Amino acid sequence: MKNASFDFELALYQINQAILEYSASLISERLPTELYSPVAYFLGLGGKRIRPLLSLLGCYLFEAKYELAIKPSIAVELFHNFTLIHDDIMDNAPLRRGNITVHEKWNTSVAILSGDVTLIEAYDLLENVNSEIRTDVFKLFNKVARQVCEGQQLDMNFEHLIHVKIEQYLEMIALKTAVLLGFSLYMGARIGGATQEQAYSLYQVGLNLGISFQIKDDLLDVFGETTKVGKQTGGDIIANKKTYLLLYALENTSESQKQRFQQHLYSKDISSNDKVRNIVELYNELEVQKNTIIAMKSYFDKAISCLDELDVNHFRKTELKAYFQTLFDRQF
């Protein structure tokens, strides 16, 4: 029998349609408007919809008809959007998805509360998983949601630390970013009929993919095109984030260059533009871009080899890998 392939365009359309309907219901049915319109605004800005796509793909690996996964996959996207609304406050970010962030368009109180209600909506939508797997899915979701908060706190702690090891960084990004990609795949797989063990193998795939994904996010923050990435270029440098780029540079530089780094990073008399320019210059001297891609690739390869170990339909696995590759190659 010929293998039916995963129609990415259709899946993305279905996801966006479900989000659109959901947003429309917020606007027409809920009050006060001041709480819900920022949520609809933010969801309307788009985004890559990676997490719901991973849920549909995780389901599809075990069951070609992934429709049952659509609503729960929107829950994961809502959770992700909650983290972004709050992340933009924490990171003092002016731009998101090429548009003004919620705390800048309205104010911080609005962004806190709209973020909170987005999280609650996510829980509500997650009820759509079938009853046999509900407890299992919620259990992992709660664990992952807590880990995301832990990762975000570490990310902020690190802004104030001068010495952070790459190992600590990897632990931090596993928490703030990668576990949610793992969960997206896990949930999809469970909806598609996978056993806990099979779904957990897929969770490991997502974890490694997520680490690679966050390293690329760090790279794009500095070397991406603002119009494509839709975020302020150099925002991580301005906020003293401990990114892979910075930690690699610090670990691979001479004492004198290290002092130059520290001067640019922690001097109070330097403008944001000069700070970014000077740090990028140091990154270029140290071939940071090339070496960051090497690190990214090593986690990407781990994700692929974890997937290879999984005993599922070979053709569907190939489709999943093709999608992973688009994430690896992305310019935004």
Residues at the contact surface with ligand IPE, assessed by CB under 6 A: 47-48, 50, 83-84, 87, 91, 93, 97, 148, 152, 176-177, 214, 217, 221, 231
> With 0-12 CB in 10 A as exposed, 13-18 as middle and 19+ as buried, what is 260?
middle
Q: For ligand IPE, give the closer residue by CB, 211 or 250.
A: 211
**Which residues have C-beta within 8 Å of that of residue 286, sequence separation ≥ 6?**
248, 249, 252, 253, 257
74 C-beta neighbours (distance < 10 Å), count: 27
234 binds, among Mg ion, ligand IPE, none (CB under 5 to 8 A by kind): none
Using rule CB under 5 A, residue 91 touches Mg ion: yes
Stretch that binds Mg ion, among 16-24, 221-229, 245-253, 258-266 (CB under 5 A): 221-229
Minimum distance between the CB of residue 111 and ligand IPE, rounded to whole angstroms?
A: 13
Using rule CB under 5 A, residue 87 touches Mg ion: yes
> How many residues lie near Mg ion (CB under 5 A)?
4
83 binds, among Mg ion, ligand IPE, none (CB under 5 to 8 A by kind): ligand IPE
Using rule CB under 5 A, residue 217 touches Mg ion: yes
Q: For ligand IPE, give the closer residue by CB, 62 or 186.
A: 186
| Residues, the chain | 332
Q: Is the peptide bond before 32 cis (omega within 30 degrees of 0)?
A: yes
Q: SS3 of 128, please?
A: coil
48 binds, among Mg ion, ligand IPE, none (CB under 5 to 8 A by kind): ligand IPE
CA dihedral 286, 220, 173, 178 (to 10 degrees): -140
153 C-beta neighbours (distance < 10 Å), count: 14
Structure token pair of residue 225: 């095109």
Q: For ligand IPE, give the closer residue by CB, 48 or 228.
A: 48
Minimum distance between the CB of residue 264 and ligand IPE, rounded to whole angstroms?
A: 20
